[in-house]
């Protein structure tokens, strides 16, 4: 027991980006719970499935092979139903995944000190198949290259 306590003391605290993402997910869950206290059971079920899908995506962002079909299979729903849930939010599964990957990458690039990662490491950790694809997509989305974003 004492060894476990010492291990906890030596562990580094979670990064600010991790804490921020965890907070966002907690707020999303609370919003779903609070909004649907009077909604229909079907509406609450849809919201719950959407929340589970977003949690699955957050957990698997680093998986470059993550697909709508894989997420749907994991949730035991059809890919069409999953797509419909995201359409109701004004987006697609693929666009949502890309936005989350880019946000995660942006957070990694803003880290400084001993947490700082190289651009190719960020690309792979965020589920991009190649650093060049990551750089192009990042620049399209943020208007600056990953290198420039990291140096600001």
Q: What is the pLDDT along the chain (152 residues), one digit of tens a residue?
A: 444 444 445 566 677 667 777 777 776 776 666 555 555 666 778 889 999 999 999 999 999 999 999 999 999 999 999 999 999 999 999 999 999 999 999 999 988 777 788 999 999 999 999 999 999 999 999 999 999 988 87
Task: Decide if 118 is inside a domain.
Answer: yes
Task: Decide if 13 is inside a domain.
Answer: no
Q: Are residues 84 and 105 in the same domain?
A: no
DSSP state of 22: H
Task: Decide if 11 is inside a domain.
Answer: no
Residue that terminates a domain, selected from 44, 72, 91: 91
Range(s) of the domain holding residue 75: 18-91
CATH of the domain at 123: 1.10.10.60
Task: Produce one character per residue of 94-131: b if its CB has 16 or more CB atoms within 10 Å, e if not.
Answer: eeebbebbbbbbbbbbeeeeeeeeebeebbbebbbeeb
Q: Are residues 85 and 22 in the same domain?
A: yes
Q: Are residues 35 and 87 in the same domain?
A: yes
**pLDDT score at 143:** 95
Task: Decide if 134 is inside a domain.
Answer: yes
Task: Give the up-direction half-sphere exposure of residue 31: CA atoms within 13 A in the CB hemisphere.
Answer: 9
Q: Are residues 87 and 103 in the same domain?
A: no
What is the count of structural domains for the chain? 2
Task: Decide if 108 is inside a domain.
Answer: yes
Q: Are residues 117 and 52 in the same domain?
A: no
Q: Are residues 78 and 141 in the same domain?
A: no
**pLDDT score at 10:** 56
**pLDDT score at 6:** 47
Tokens of 89: 């939010």
Q: Are residues 27 and 61 in the same domain?
A: yes
């Amino acid at each position: 027991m004492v060894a476990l306590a010492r291990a906890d003391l030596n562990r580094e605290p979670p990064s600010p980006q991790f804490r921020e993402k965890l907070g966002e997910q907690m707020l999303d869950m609370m919003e779903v719970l609070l909004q649907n206290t009077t909604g229909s059971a079907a509406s609450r079920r849809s919201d719950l499935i959407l929340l589970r899908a977003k949690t699955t995506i957050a957990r698997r962002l680093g998986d470059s092979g993550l697909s709508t079909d894989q997420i749907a299979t994991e949730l035991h729903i059809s890919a069409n139903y999953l797509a419909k849930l995201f359409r109701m939010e004004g987006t697609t599964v693929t666009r949502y995944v890309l936005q989350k990957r880019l946000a995660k990458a942006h957070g990694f690039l803003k880290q400084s000190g001993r947490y700082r990662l190289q651009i190719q490491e960020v690309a792979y950790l965020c589920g991009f198949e190649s650093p060049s694809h990551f750089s192009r997509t990042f620049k399209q989305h943020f208007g600056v290259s990953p290198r420039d974003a990291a140096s600001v």
